[in-house]
Amino acid sequence: MAEHEAGGGGSRRRGPYAKSAERRQQIVDEAYRAFATRGYHGTSLREIAVAAGIGLSTLQHHFGGKEDLLVAVLGRRDELGGDPDGVGGDGRAPFAGLPFADAIAAQAERNERIPGLIALYSVLAAEAAADDHPAHDYFLDRYATMRETYRAEFTALAAAGRLRDGLDPALAAATVVALWEGIQLQWLYSPERIHAAEALRGYLELAILPETAA
């Protein structure tokens, strides 16, 4: 009986923590939507609090300031993106085992199915180009990681004799990043006409030679 009571007490003690986690998630979700629509600078903590149905002091109890909330939102974006590096990321994590081009196309298709994912990324990436933006280093590191990961993939393809003659792996990597981000931005305007996966696959089919039979 004592063990049962102790267990029940433990459950009751965990209740407030569960509620706190739910509240934090609710705040992050509302901030995610707001940042995707109006950007970081165009959104106030008070607006997020109102959207979450709480007071500003309650929001600030969970997040010390807007920068702390931005960090949480970017973490949520990366979680939804399916890999540690977010949209595109290394292009492989959620689709391990797929050939490079297939993994890129699959990730692009997945991104389009996640509400707000591309909008949030596009808005914040443009806004964070300013050196003093709190997400500047996040995107700076992300771009560097993406370019290096893709460069390594193209270098391996070149070593296997499968990269188009004269195509520099580093330039091909930067082109994939630029194409991906640009085509996603167009998709936001015309989702019924633009398909990022098709555009990416089209470029990669030009850059990568078919695998020959042994």
Residue predicted with more confidence, 95 or 55: 55
Domain boundary among 48, 73, 98: 73
Q: What number is the average pLDDT over the span 120-146?
A: 95
Give the domain CATH number at 44.
1.10.10.60
Q: What is the pLDDT of residue 83?
A: 54
Contact 52, 42 (CB under 8 A): no
Q: What is the pLDDT of residue 1?
A: 38
pLDDT(2) > 60: no
Q: What is the pLDDT of residue 95?
A: 72
Q: What is the pLDDT of residues 7-34, one digit of tens each?
A: 444 444 456 667 889 999 999 999 999 9
92 and 12, same structural domain? Answer: no
Boundaries of domain holding 5? 1-73
pLDDT(90) > 60: no
Which pLDDT band, with edges at 50, 70 and 90, does 92 fall under?
very low
Per-residue three-class SS string for the chain:
CHHHHHHHHHHHHHHHHHHHHHHHHHHHHHHHHHHHHHCCCCCCHHHHHHHHCCCHHHHHHHCCCHHHHHHHHHHHHHHHHCCCCCCCCCCCHHHCCCCHHHHHHHHHHHHHCCCCHHHHHHHHHHHCCCCCCCCHHHHHHHHHHHHHHHHHHHHHHHHCCCECCCCCHHHHHHHHHHHHHHHHHHHHHCCCCCCHHHHHHHHHHHHECCCCCC
pLDDT(148) > 80: yes
Contact 119, 179 (CB under 8 A): no
Q: How many domains does the chain have?
A: 2
90 and 22, same structural domain? Answer: no
Which pLDDT band, with edges at 50, 70 and 90, does 96 fall under?
low
Q: What is the pLDDT of residue 80?
A: 87
pLDDT(86) > 70: no
44 and 92, same structural domain? Answer: no
94 and 58, same structural domain? Answer: no
Q: What is the pLDDT of residue 8?
A: 46
- Residue 156 to residues 6, 100, 149, 160, 212: CA-CA distances in angstroms? 59, 11, 11, 6, 16
Q: What number is the average pLDDT over the span 149-164?
A: 95
Residue keyed to tokens 């950007």 = 39
pTM to 2 decimal places: 0.81
Contact 203, 182 (CB under 8 A): no
